[in-house]
Structure 1
Amino acid sequence: MPYVRRHLAEHAAAGGVLGDRLLSAQFLPYADAERLRAVLAQAQPVDDAVLGLWRQVAHACRWEDPAANADALRFRLAAAGRSADRVAHPGSVWWPHWVRWPVERCEIVARHPGGLWSLDTAVLPHGQVVAVTGGEDGTVRVWDLITGAPVGEPLTGHSARVRAVATAVLADGRVVVVTGSSDSAVRVWDLSTGELLHALRVGALDHGVRCVATATLGDGRVLALIGASLQQEPVRAWDLTTGARVCDASGRHPAGVTALAATRLPDGRTVLVTCCSADRAARVWDVEDGRQIGGPPDLTGETGALYALATTRPRHGQPVAVVGSDDGSVHLIDLMTGERTGRPMIGHDYTVGTADTAVLPDGRHVAVTAGNDGKLRMWDLPTGQGLSAEVTSRTSEVRTVRTTVLSGERTVAVAGNEDGTVRLWDLASLATGSDEQWDGEGDFGIRAVATAVLPTGRAVVLTGHRERVRVWNLTSGALIDDLPAGHVSGISAITTAALPDGRVVAFVCSGFNHSIWLWDLTENRSVGTLTTRHAIGVQFLATALLPDGRTAAVTSGDGSVGVWDPLTGDLMAGPVPGGPLATATLPDGRPVAVVGRFDGTLNLLDPATLDPVADPLRAHSAAVDALRIARLPDGRIVAVSAGEDDLVRVHDLTSGRPVGARVPAHGPDRSLTTVTLPGPDRSLLTVTGGGEGRVRLWDTATGAAVGHPLATDGHVRALLGTERQGVPVVLLGGAGLACLEITLA
């Protein structure tokens, strides 16, 4: 069986019978993902929708766990509206009832752990095409763009995030990468051996190195060009062979340089193009003497700060620089004169943070741009005509995009996303495709999920994303309504409560607004806003039923907690210090508010007065950033908390004692919930998610890992355990919304 799993695709390709009947939904979870990717790169194209979806989960597939592979593929099939029943494994844990999740046409090749800041591509001496990524974790990693496999060990040495990487080929054929970090260090590595060649002495820089580029001079020397984040310094040039500083490749800038690119002009000069956000100008410099060519193009009034930069020479035209702005526009600059050329290219909604250029197989020159709106767009050069509008990750911004050519003359865009994913887009197919529309959550995804049961008995799900509140049918997953959230934007939390008069009301808050918006779900109308005294916004929200029958809204924002009467808007108690919060009813019937603090403690407070009702619980060694309340099978009420110490802890709210072992949290934007499984023992599980895109299960009582993780794409920002038609389910919020049942053997 292992031999078949590893080599069946190779033999089928050799025999010319590799097709969708072999690469079926039943077989793919068992396949060796790296080997199959390598085979598919050399074989005749297999046009199959299931295989295309598998390419989006193959980076997370593990040889030793085909059940987890099956669950990841099943989730993707359900998101695409295809039958997931064919993907079955006796060890499967995650079973989707419905999935409302976007499906892209890209291939996810790899994921840099902890998040990605920078990316470049290179071709190693033996022809291997790789992506080089710089991460939040301070490491530099190399990935095979065909198989997705890591190449060598991570390159370590930086003590902070790696903000910039750039590759180059030296005169002796060695392929190197230059890495710049927030720690102000610049390092040069041999990509074939992983050897550190140089640690360049660039001096102390405020906020470190922002951008790096490489350039080849007419005499064959290859230079590293270093730009600082904030200082009004020239771009400095270093010889990559000797490690010696050579010259200043530019003059001084009004502020820090936000982007660099270098190229050779037809007259043999090597020029550097720089962007500076302070005066919204792009400048062209002669690298060897540091003199400016022409004047900075006057983009003031037509554009915002400049952040993206790439260079190319279109057919029958002058060499140009492609410049992206924070107002979403893209501009062309003639590198021979330093003047702007053509009209602005309009198509992005937010900052264009990265750009590159490519030549398609039909000879067309194109620019590829991406940014904070999640869109990857392609433009014809030099006409500036938009060729496509593809939406990439809906849960994180595109940090870097680069183009390269893979085997078979396939020209691709390689996108590095903030969530750590490395994604491949086929540029030839984008040039002939239509705009991809997704009426989903986009722009960093769902951040809040709540449920309610209406007086009619219908169970609904409410989701919050930016300024949009949506209501979904919990049973079918059908969209019921888009609520006009009004002035509330950047939604951070939603909760629901049944008021004493029987109305079911949704409470919606924003991290950017000090008001809480109230919506009557029974009559489907707004019932006003509750204005709090939080200076910045309301980040956490819960309700509590007080002993006198009143419903109280407990809010947290700017480090303080308050209690409000939602009917009158009056402040009932507070403010007191605190952060994440939840409310509960103890076994003796007393209501309690549990509030997480920056010092890692959990404070138990009376929700009517915010007076302490017990000693603080020592839960974490760093700030608490997520909190849930749950009931164990033996009746104990517990607080489940996640902290910036990367741990999940469980505490009995009656005794104050910890329950079970410490559980590791995973990645930024940590989310958690609990769910009780059916059966005689009624096991309570803790469900955790985060920036690494996996959802994990833990036994709440013991802290032991349960089952296997579910691999998704992007951040998992919201989790909620509930019941669907009497069956425990987990609602998963991220790029979309999903309802999953958990089954353990």
Structure 2
Amino acid sequence: MAVATETPNPYIAHHLAAHIAEAGAWQELADAPQVLDHLEPRAVAAEALRLGYGRTRLPGPVTATLVARDLLASVAPKDRETVRALTMARFVGAVPADGTRRADATWTVRWTRLRRDLLPAVLTDRASPVEALRAFSLPDGRQLLAVGTHDGRVRLWDSESVLDADMSPVGELAYDRPVHTLETVARPGGEILLAVGVDRTVHLWDPVARSTVGSSVLDTGAACEGHALLAPAWKAVRLPDGRSLIAVCDTHNVRLWDPFTGEPVGPELVGPESLTVAQAISEGSQSLDGVLAPVTLPDGRALLVAGGTSRVLDSIDGSTDFMYGRLWAWDITTGELVWKLHTGYSGTLTALTTVPLRDGRQALATAGGGGVVRLFDPEGPTQVGEWLHGNGADVVGASTVRLRHDRTALVTVGGDRTVRAWDPLTGTPVGAPMSAHNSGVRALTSLHIADGRAFVAGGGEDGTVQLWDPESVGHIDDPLAGPVHQLVSMPVRPGAIRQSRPLLASVNADNTLHLWEASSGLPMAQPLEVSAGRPVTVPIPDGRTLLALGDGKCPIRLWDPESHRGVRTKRSRNPLRRLHLIDYPTAVATVPWRDGRTAVVVRNGPSLSLWDPASGRDLGSLRISMGLNPLDAGTISLPGGRTMLFTSSQEGIKLWDPTTGARIAEWNRKLDNRTTIIPVTWPDAHPLLAVTEEEVTHLVDPFSEDAPGGGRVRATLAVGFQPPTSHPDHPLLPGRHRLALAGCLTREGRPVVATGGHDGALRLWEPETGELVHALPVGAPINALLATDNLLVIGSRDGLIALES
């Protein structure tokens, strides 16, 4: 394949991929990255999805283009190889060799330690979260995929066209309320799609005629208002006589409704009885959680099973003391309660679905706390098969997918944003874990193509519908990869076993510290658990460099990475700290001290003091007050080797001489309580302070006296905090919404400032003008940046990335 030396004409850019797909020449395209760089990424991805995904094993660069098509389309051709390399490291597990890298690329990938994911193919992208998915068959055998979103829309795709280039829906419905449930019911002539909204209105749509056939309002009463009508609380149920009804539950009962008339049908299914407050305190209480599943027994009887919770209440204040999951099963025809079952889960039941077994029977798959799934025979009820362990977090949803060769897999969604497929009887995984593209999965279904391919479809809160091939080749995950929140470099110590080469230390979201060789990303020691807080490097007189760790919840510990053991602990005799009523001191930074010693700057509430790590004693009576409403503290190094302390509060920033405690300079400016201060230094250059507020970052010269209140803003960068989120799938972790920044970089011989944040974009800025020099998407939120030698190391949500400029 000829190498493209300049931008090709529009026809080649948009249509060459179609010819490559028809010829099956994916490997030839992957072997010519200069050609791939100049093709329209979305066109390549569309053809790979249409004719390759789930059918043949695509080469790594083509797979990366399929996953990162939007990121690739947003950057210049010379940066696309870097974006593909990062995507390959995440989804394929390999970084391209040096010989395939472009000579004119702004960045090249030196190494990565990233969490591995299974390839998702993104079907559609809308701003409104996906609330419901449903795949169903037409009379001619084709399948449609219905997508219900929070903005009240239901869109339908033909299963054959979802993998086509245009990806246009074959129909769309618009309502004025969010659609939280999609179900199908049978009637003469074919199935009807039901779209249920939060106002208890059931919309009926004929997928064959592509038209609305009516709607009904279920008079479920006050008990089912508001939050009780979540998606799992509505379920389509087919009676033995062929009729289709809708089951709706409140906290104690379930009613069956005719969706065409809006009238109740049959007897009420009575669950746990209502109790008085006194009875609940003395005996405990029971309630339904809103997870429903219809199941057919071998004798033809139809049961409806509901999940619920037993609560034992504290007799003093009435608060919940203990909860465990239960199941209730009724005969749909008679309304009789057939059995009750204690599932063994602590907490509520979060998912309930049916799984077909090999002998034709149906089993109930239940999920609750602890990420464990259990199967029960509804005729017994007795446990079936093995418990399914291995979910990374509590299971929040479950469904089934029919695989090739008449096999069925159980698919679970974890609170860690990971989708997994299992053999329901053996409990063994099918394929590799499937991680959501950008956000948690709210809805699941399975989708089948006429050529035999089967996919898991997941709807995300970011508005995307993602498709996974659950039988893709599995991979070995990197056990050391994971979210990184703090990074620090360690100076080289000649002659030491581990510190003869540059090292860096990272602290993960689970407060585990890892030590890495900076040039290769190889682990240099066993992970150190329970290492919360920002690590601070501490050189001591014997030549070693220690790490000071502590987040205020425990005493400061000094850890020796060479011997992999603790050296010293800064303890406190204050009983309030031992009882965790007040915080312990934390290590902020280090400063040179007399006699060549190094002192650790310790923050204790609103004041700073110095501590000698060699002797374990406080140095003198020096105390520096951070003022009212303190924010942050650190050090800044001047070109002559002098080190200053800086403190920040809502009243501004102050600089101090650490040996005398004298105030050197100040910048009087009102700061927000989320403002962060990060020193920006270059070799032999005047240092600056990066003051990050809600929307911008100011580069401040704190020693300038030519501005009112002291200090001068040298430049303003158009980047700041990202809005915090409190959604369960996105917990607000320390530093999550704060800007990561590194300053010791050069580009074309001039210094630049590097920033990164929640949007996953690495940006380079001109520090004199604030001009944006370059931007590169890395595919995951950036939590930390560290410049060391000729590398820029990125700590992201998915692990570590080392880029070389």
TM-score (normalised: structure 1): 0.76
Any conservation in 2 of the 1:492–1:539 contact (CA below 8 Å)?
A: no
The structural deviation recorded for 1:520 is: 2.6
Amino acid at match of 1:106: L
Q: Is 1:462 matched with 2:530?
A: no
Select the residue among 672, 679, 683 that pairs with 2:740.
672
Aligned to 1:593: 646
Given the superposition, is the C-alpha separation of residues 36 and 112 from structure 1 closer, same or farther in structure 2, using an over 3 Å criterion?
closer
The structural deviation recorded for 1:614 is: 3.7
Select the residue among 469, 474, 489 that pairs with 1:451.
489
Aligned to 2:778: 711
Q: Is 1:737 matched with 2:800?
A: yes
Given the superposition, is the C-alpha separation of residues 685 and 293 from structure 1 closer, same or farther in structure 2, using an over 3 Å criterion?
farther
Aligned to 2:479: 439
Secondary structure at the residue paired with 1:353? Answer: strand
Select the residue among 106, 123, 134 that pairs with 1:93.
106
For residues 328-356 of structure 1, what are the alpha-carbon distances to aligned partners after superposition, in whole Å with 9 as ceiling and x for unaligned?
32111334566544553334464233322
Listed as ranges, the matches of 1:137-152 within 5 Å are: 146=163
Secondary structure at the residue paired with 2:750? Answer: coil
Given the superposition, is the C-alpha separation of residues 439 and 95 from structure 1 closer, same or farther in structure 2, using an over 3 Å criterion?
same
The structural deviation recorded for 1:73 is: 0.3
Given the superposition, is the C-alpha separation of residues 110 and 215 from structure 1 closer, same or farther in structure 2, using an over 3 Å criterion?
same
Select the residue among 343, 348, 354 that pairs with 1:311.
354
Aligned to 2:690: 640
Aligned to 2:719: 663
| Separation in structure 1 between the aligned mates of residue 69 and residue 535 of structure 2, nearest angstrom | 34
Aligned to 2:446: 404
Select the residue among 260, 275, 280 that pairs with 2:324.
280
Aligned length: 703
Aligned to 1:552: 600
Secondary structure at the residue paired with 2:554? Answer: strand
Aligned to 2:291: 260
| Separation in structure 2 between the aligned mates of residue 324 and residue 667 of structure 1, nearest angstrom | 33
Secondary structure at the residue paired with 1:327? Answer: helix
| Separation in structure 1 between the aligned mates of residue 593 and residue 602 of structure 2, nearest angstrom | 15
Given the superposition, is the C-alpha separation of residues 547 and 333 from structure 1 closer, same or farther in structure 2, using an over 3 Å criterion?
same
Any conservation in 2 of the 1:619–1:649 contact (CA below 8 Å)?
A: no
Secondary structure at the residue paired with 2:746? Answer: coil
| Separation in structure 2 between the aligned mates of residue 411 and residue 187 of structure 1, nearest angstrom | 33
| Separation in structure 2 between the aligned mates of residue 236 and residue 611 of structure 1, nearest angstrom | 73
Q: Is 1:471 matched with 2:527?
A: no
The structural deviation recorded for 1:122 is: 4.0
The structural deviation recorded for 1:385 is: 3.5
Any conservation in 2 of the 1:689–1:719 contact (CA below 8 Å)?
A: no
Q: Is 1:166 matched with 2:181?
A: yes
For residues 477-503 of structure 1, what are the alpha-carbon distances to aligned partners after superposition, in whole Å with 9 as ceiling and x for unaligned?
222222444xx15x3422213246643
Q: Is 1:361 matched with 2:404?
A: yes
The structural deviation recorded for 1:672 is: 0.9
Any conservation in 2 of the 1:132–1:142 contact (CA below 8 Å)?
A: yes
For residues 433-462 of structure 1, what are the alpha-carbon distances to aligned partners after superposition, in whole Å with 9 as ceiling and x for unaligned?
5x73423224xx222211011321631111
| Separation in structure 1 between the aligned mates of residue 696 and residue 264 of structure 2, nearest angstrom | 45
The structural deviation recorded for 1:100 is: 2.5
For residues 28-79 of structure 1, what are the alpha-carbon distances to aligned partners after superposition, in whole Å with 9 as ceiling and x for unaligned?
3444444434433443644333223333323533277444433210223466
Amino acid at match of 2:373: V
Any conservation in 1 of the 2:756–2:783 contact (CA below 8 Å)?
A: no
The structural deviation recorded for 1:547 is: 6.5
Of the structure 1 ranges 607-616 and 669-678, higher mean CA displacement relative to structure 2 is found in 607-616
Aligned to 2:26: 19
Q: Is 1:61 matched with 2:72?
A: yes
Aligned to 1:75: 86
> Which of the pair has more CA radius of gyration?
2
Any conservation in 2 of the 1:78–1:84 contact (CA below 8 Å)?
A: no
For residues 619-666 of structure 1, what are the alpha-carbon distances to aligned partners after superposition, in whole Å with 9 as ceiling and x for unaligned?
45xx416542214899554333445x4554444434345432542544
Amino acid at match of 1:497: V
Given the superposition, is the C-alpha separation of residues 42 and 686 from structure 1 closer, same or farther in structure 2, using an over 3 Å criterion?
closer
Any conservation in 2 of the 1:447–1:492 contact (CA below 8 Å)?
A: no
| Separation in structure 1 between the aligned mates of residue 422 and residue 148 of structure 2, nearest angstrom | 25
Secondary structure at the residue paired with 2:444? Answer: strand
Give the gaps of 5 or more residues in structure 2: 1-8, 274-284, 312-322, 495-499, 704-709, 725-735
| Separation in structure 2 between the aligned mates of residue 243 and residue 607 of structure 1, nearest angstrom | 77
Secondary structure at the residue paired with 1:283? Answer: strand
Amino acid at match of 2:611: D
Any conservation in 2 of the 1:582–1:595 contact (CA below 8 Å)?
A: no
Aligned to 1:215: 236
The structural deviation recorded for 1:413 is: 2.6
Listed as ranges, the matches of 1:691-702 within 5 Å are: 692-702=759-769
Of the structure 1 ranges 474-483 and 196-205, higher mean CA displacement relative to structure 2 is found in 196-205
| Separation in structure 1 between the aligned mates of residue 476 and residue 411 of structure 2, nearest angstrom | 16
Aligned to 2:388: 345
Any conservation in 2 of the 1:110–1:148 contact (CA below 8 Å)?
A: no
Aligned to 1:688: 756
Any conservation in 2 of the 1:593–1:604 contact (CA below 8 Å)?
A: yes
Amino acid at match of 1:48: L
The structural deviation recorded for 1:360 is: 1.7
Secondary structure at the residue paired with 1:514? Answer: coil
Amino acid at match of 2:293: A
Q: Is 1:40 matched with 2:48?
A: yes
The structural deviation recorded for 1:5 is: 1.8
Aligned to 1:617: 669
| Separation in structure 1 between the aligned mates of residue 687 and residue 174 of structure 2, nearest angstrom | 46
Aligned to 2:120: 107
Aligned to 1:565: 611
Select the residue among 538, 543, 559 that pairs with 1:497.
538
Listed as ranges, the matches of 1:323-402 within 5 Å are: 323-336=366-379, 340-348=383-391, 350-372=393-415, 376-381=419-424, 383-388=425-430, 390-393=432-435, 399-400=441-442, 402=444
Any conservation in 2 of the 1:374–1:393 contact (CA below 8 Å)?
A: yes
TM-score (normalised: structure 2): 0.71
Aligned to 2:59: 49
Aligned to 1:542: 588
Given the superposition, is the C-alpha separation of residues 54 and 102 from structure 1 closer, same or farther in structure 2, using an over 3 Å criterion?
farther
| Separation in structure 2 between the aligned mates of residue 614 and residue 695 of structure 1, nearest angstrom | 31
The structural deviation recorded for 1:190 is: 9.4
Of the structure 1 ranges 302-311 and 91-100, higher mean CA displacement relative to structure 2 is found in 302-311
| Separation in structure 1 between the aligned mates of residue 644 and residue 271 of structure 2, nearest angstrom | 66
For residues 522-564 of structure 1, what are the alpha-carbon distances to aligned partners after superposition, in whole Å with 9 as ceiling and x for unaligned?
66542133357475878985214166665234458xx977656
Structure in which a larger fraction of residues adopt helix: 2
Secondary structure at the residue paired with 2:792? Answer: strand
Give the gaps of 5 or more residues in structure 1: none
Any conservation in 1 of the 2:291–2:350 contact (CA below 8 Å)?
A: no
Any conservation in 2 of the 1:461–1:473 contact (CA below 8 Å)?
A: yes
Given the superposition, is the C-alpha separation of residues 396 and 207 from structure 1 closer, same or farther in structure 2, using an over 3 Å criterion?
farther
Aligned to 2:559: 519
For residues 134-180 of structure 1, what are the alpha-carbon distances to aligned partners after superposition, in whole Å with 9 as ceiling and x for unaligned?
78xx898979763698878999988xxx9x94323467967565567
Secondary structure at the residue paired with 2:432? Answer: strand
Select the residue among 349, 352, 365 that pairs with 1:322.
365
Given the superposition, is the C-alpha separation of residues 289 and 673 from structure 1 closer, same or farther in structure 2, using an over 3 Å criterion?
farther
Any conservation in 1 of the 2:611–2:617 contact (CA below 8 Å)?
A: yes
Secondary structure at the residue paired with 1:493? Answer: coil
Select the residue among 542, 545, 548 that pairs with 1:507.
548
